[in-house]
Amino acid sequence: MADLFLPAGSRVDPHGKVHKAAPGAAAVRSFRIYRFDPDSGQNPRIDTFELDAKSCGPMVLDALIQIKGQVDSSLTFRRSCREGICGSCAMNINGVNRLACTTAISDLGGDVKIYPLPHMPVVKDLVPDLTNFYAQYASVEPWLKTRTPAPPDKERLQAKEEQEVIDRPSACILCACCSTACPSYWWNSDRSLGPAALLAAYRWIVDTRDEATGERLDALNDPFKLYRCHTIMNCTDVCPKDLNPAKAIAVIKKKMIERQH
């Protein structure tokens, strides 16, 4: 049997720095956080930060902000809206891809283990390089494409039922929790589009105002872009907005078959 080893430079040192809670802290919680600084020339390590839960806000993002503000200003992570809207605080928390700002510390047992989203190059600490992810999103041309001229006196309107079809997929916040939970995407992220980009493609394929459905399906008819999905469903399980990329991908595949008849 083959022996598999990580390259020496990517092995994580589990015994990084330990920052103890202040003496007398009433409710100590430990946060074990992945640290990586490409400029240091050192391997990644896991630092431990003890916080008094009573002095910290309720969410994992509150803990990260407190650590950065009061303990180690070099801790690097993305965040913006703090309410599950911008998608920028996605990270792997206790083994699950989630938004730090909507994950309550009290819902997590034991030490809180925080890593960057899996299987992506790491820019620094908890910040993954999403360049490829965004390029794949752009590649599905996520905008309305029409051939016929717009009505002169009104917008291109939809019936309520037509709008409801695109309502949920339009709520995607591009957090990348789904794509980075997808084993098929892990192994083929250079060629498989992954669930987030495919959900975006679906959103325009089923939009009744769009007039480029055939062109969109042609662009996806590729063994890697679409057909690496094997309906493992991790994407749907982890989506923090309760969207269903796996179902959307299944609908795209069905449309591929239907148009052959």
What is the C-alpha to C-alpha distance for residues 107 and 63, in angstroms, rounded to an integer? 14
- Using the contact rule CB under 6 A, the part of the chain among 85-93, 126-134, 191-199, 224-232 near ligand FES is 85-93
Distance of CA 235 to the CA centre of its chain: 9
Residues 6+ away with beta carbon under 8 Å from 67: 19, 31, 33, 49, 51, 75
Kindly determine how many residues on this chain lie close enough to bind ligand SF4 according to the rule CB under 6 A. Answer: 27
Beta partners for 50? 30
**Structure tokens that stand for 84 in this block:** 């599950």
- The nearer residue to ligand FES, 101 or 112, going by C-beta atoms, is 101
Asked if 87 interacts with ligand FES (CB under 6 A), we say yes
What is the C-alpha to C-alpha distance for residues 247 and 236, in angstroms, rounded to an integer? 8
Asked if 114 and 91 count as a contact pair (C-beta separation under 8 A), the reply is yes
Asked if 232 interacts with ligand SF4 (CB under 6 A), we say yes
| Contact pick of 46, 56, 67, 89 for ligand FES (by CB under 6 A) | 89
Asked if 136 interacts with ligand SF4 (CB under 6 A), we say no
| Contact pick of 53, 85, 217, 233 for ligand SF4 (by CB under 6 A) | 233
Asked if 241 interacts with ligand SF4 (CB under 6 A), we say yes
Q: Kindly identify the residues of this chain, within the stretch 54-113, that bind ligand SF4 according to CB under 6 A.
A: 87
Tokens 């909507």 map to which residue?
A: 102
**Structure tokens that stand for 175 in this block:** 């957090």
C-alpha closest to that of 96 among 247, 240, 241, 251: 240
Of these partners, ligand FES, ligand SF4, none, which one is at the site of residue 184 (CB under 5 to 8 Å by kind)? Answer: ligand SF4
**Structure tokens that stand for 137 in this block:** 């999103």
Mask 189-218, x = binds ligand SF4 (CB under 6 A)?
------xx--x-------------------
What are the residues binding ligand SF4 (CB under 6 A)?
Answer: 87, 172-178, 182, 184-185, 195-196, 199, 229-235, 239, 241, 243, 245-246, 249
